[in-house]
């Protein structure tokens, strides 16, 4: 199996999982994955110099944070917007959080 075939397989599996593991959609998932792999292969590669420049500019900004703020930035979870919602389905509505009770005195 070539690297390209392996990448298509990985993409197809990710698509299948993101759609809730439906049955009978293999051909559609495979075609979507093939197109993603082609686009990835054709995308311009970033040079090591550009990546190093970007990394060095990000570090000073992070060093300005202190203590807990720096730790929470490092442990931040990815945004929920990355979840894929199948066509025709509405996103789940979030319930508002209850207000915190003041501490007993």
Give the pLDDT confidence of 2-56 residue by residue, as tens digits.
Answer: 778 899 999 999 999 999 999 999 999 999 999 999 998 888 887 666 556 555 5
Is 68 part of a structural domain of the chain?
A: no
Is 41 part of a structural domain of the chain?
A: yes
Domain that holds residue 29: 1-55
Is 62 part of a structural domain of the chain?
A: no
Is 76 part of a structural domain of the chain?
A: no
Q: Within 13 Å, how many C-alpha atoms sit on residue 48's CB side?
A: 0
Is 20 part of a structural domain of the chain?
A: yes
CA pair distance 74, 91, nearest whole angstrom = 28
Is 84 part of a structural domain of the chain?
A: no
> Total structural domains in the chain?
1
pLDDT of residue 103: 80
Is 16 part of a structural domain of the chain?
A: yes
**101 or 24: which carries more pLDDT confidence?**
24
Q: Is the pTM for the entire model greater than 0.75?
A: no
């Amino acid at each position: 199996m070539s690297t390209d075939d392996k990448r298509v397989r990985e993409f197809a599996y990710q698509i299948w999982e993101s759609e809730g593991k439906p049955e009978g959609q293999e051909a559609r998932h495979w075609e979507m994955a093939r197109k993603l792999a082609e686009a990835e292969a054709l995308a311009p590669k970033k040079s090591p110099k550009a990546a190093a420049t970007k990394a060095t500019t990000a570090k000073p900004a992070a060093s300005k944070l202190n203590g807990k703020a720096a730790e929470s930035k490092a442990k931040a979870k990815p945004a929920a917007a990355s979840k894929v919602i199948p066509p025709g389905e509405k996103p789940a509505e979030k319930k508002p959080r209850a207000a915190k009770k003041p501490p007993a005195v």
